[in-house]
């Protein structure tokens, strides 16, 4: 018998404001056509005034709890994967804890940029398997609209805001790849690539700063590393791309998503794609895609899922789970 971190519920929150690509044509030398063909993005959501990472995270968490049929008191921990917390501290996770009226358990943020949700799943899995908690809310939430340079056409058109959440619960499995829950994790980072993707502000500068990216280089690393990490995670449990029901990738660029699926031998029909509607929501993109995939009727109980992501750091990784 093996302890498995099994998904009990999923939910998401998107801000109401939809911004189509054409909205950037007024202020930048860009076009809907360029953005669609180079990225697959058609629109994104931006948070309203007063809407923050923690308020969106709390709403996604409420929806995941509802789907699980649980109350906040029945959860032992909250992990928020984010690079855009409301404040330097306290953590967005403790703000979510407070918004949910949770007075027990523990809450913390985890920062691995676009790979944040994959890192958070691996961390929650370790806590559940170690018996440190019985149920954990794992949330990805971002407000990248607050850290964009609106004069830089090569970055500001790519990102969006939103939040997604899962409730993970420790359950007993047979110890085989047929079990529901998290089956394998593969994490990597290499700080030698720190200058490819970063925010040029923070505590050391006294201002929040804006996102800077060498897009072409990040693209090259993504195509090279994502299929490798996904295959390494599948290999841990003796599986391959042929066994996968759904790839639920980080939603940064449709060309990266297609290239990764192709390298893994998985047809695009078995990939959950939301980048056209959400843009790149960094750590929120995978839980948003999981929740959307369930809403669309794509992801069903028992399906074998691969989640994979790469982002600033560089940090990347993959988690295999049976829904
Ligand atoms: N509109 C029109 N032209 C543009 C735009 C735009 N919005 N942005 C860039 N261009 C121009 C460039 O200036 C360049 O012009 P030049 O040839 O005259 O210099 C030309 O388009 C091609 O630029 P590239 O950067 O080579 O374009 P590319 O096809 O690589 O697409 C993109 C750029 C979309 C950024 C792509 O490289 C990409 O998706 N990179 C990966 C991003 C990513 O995955 N990030 C994930 C992590 S994000 C995180 O962790 C926060």
How would residue 146 be classed by pLDDT, with cut points 50, 70 and 90?
Answer: very high
Q: How many CB atoms lie within 10 A of CB 64?
A: 28
Q: Which CATH architecture has domain 181-322?
A: 3-Layer(aba) Sandwich (3.40)
Model confidence pLDDT, tens digit, residues 55-112: 999 999 999 999 999 999 999 999 999 999 999 999 999 999 999 999 999 999 999 9
Residue 12 bears catalytic tag: no
Please tell me the pTM assigned to this model.
0.97
Task: Using the predicted structure, report yes or no on whether residue 1 has a pLDDT greater than 90.
Answer: no
> Who contacts 92 (Cβ-Cβ below 8 Å, separation ≥6)?
53, 54, 57, 80, 82, 85, 86, 109, 141
User: For ligand 1, is residue 163 a contact (CB within 6 Å)?
Assistant: no
Which residue of the set 125, 250, 253, 278 is catalytic? 250
> Across the chain, which distance is largest between two alpha carbons, in Å?
60
- What pLDDT sits at residue 281? 98
User: For ligand 1, is residue 98 a contact (CB within 6 Å)?
Assistant: no
Using the Cα atoms of residue 242, residue 245, residue 158 and residue 37 in order, give the sign of their dihedral: positive
Nearest CA to ligand 1 atom 35: 215
Nearest CA to ligand 1 atom 45: 252
CA neighbours within 13 Å on the CB side: how many for 227? 16
Question: Measured in angstroms, how far is the CA atom of residue 143 from the centroid of ligand 1?
Answer: 21
Cα(243)–Cα(118) distance, integer angstroms: 20
Q: Which CATH architecture has domain 2-173?
A: 3-Layer(aba) Sandwich (3.40)
**Mean pLDDT score, 218-235:** 97
Q: Where are the domains of the chain?
A: 2-173, 181-322
Q: Which of 30, 141, 215, 311 to mutate to test the pocket of ligand 1 (most atoms within 8 A of CB)?
A: 215
Please identify, by atom number, the ligand 1 atom nearest to the C-alpha of residue 144: 51
Cα(79)–Cα(56) distance, integer angstroms: 14
CA 173-176-181 angle, 5° bins: 50
């Amino acid at each position: 018998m093996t302890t498995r971190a099994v998904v009990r519920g999923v939910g998401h929150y998107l801000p109401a404001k939809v911004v189509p690509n054409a909205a950037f044509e007024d202020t930048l030398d860009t076009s809907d056509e360029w953005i669609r063909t180079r990225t697959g993005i058609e629109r994104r959501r931006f948070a309203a005034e007063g809407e923050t990472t923690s308020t969106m995270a709390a709403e996604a968490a409420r929806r995941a709890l509802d789907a699980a049929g649980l109350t906040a008191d029945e959860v032992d921990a909250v992990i928020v994967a984010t690079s855009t917390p409301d404040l330097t501290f306290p953590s967005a996770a403790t703000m979510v804890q407070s918004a949910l009226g949770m007075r027990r358990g523990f809450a913390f943020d985890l920062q691995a940029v676009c790979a944040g949700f994959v890192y958070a799943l691996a961390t929650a899995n370790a806590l559940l398997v170690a018996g440190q908690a019985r149920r954990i809310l794992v949330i990805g939430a971002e407000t990248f609209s607050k850290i964009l340079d609106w004069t830089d056409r090569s970055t500001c058109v790519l990102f969006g805001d939103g939040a997604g959440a899962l409730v993970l619960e420790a359950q007993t499995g047979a110890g085989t790849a047929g079990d529901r829950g998290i089956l394998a994790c593969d994490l990597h980072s290499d700080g030698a690539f720190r200058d490819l993707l970063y925010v040029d502000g923070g505590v050391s500068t006294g201002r929040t700063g804006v996102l800077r990216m060498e897009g072409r280089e990040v693209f090259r690393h993504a195509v090279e590393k994502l299929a490798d990490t996904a295959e390494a995670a599948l290999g841990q449990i003796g599986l391959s791309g042929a066994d996968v029901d759904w790839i639920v990738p980080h939603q940064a660029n449709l060309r990266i998503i297609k290239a990764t699926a192709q390298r893994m031998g998985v047809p695009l029909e078995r990939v959950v794609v939301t980048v056209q509607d959400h843009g790149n929501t960094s750590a929120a993109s995978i839980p948003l895609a999981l929740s959307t995939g369930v809403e669309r009727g794509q992801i069903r109980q028992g399906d074998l899922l691969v989640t994979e992501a790469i982002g600033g750091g560089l940090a990347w990784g993959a988690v295999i789970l049976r829904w």
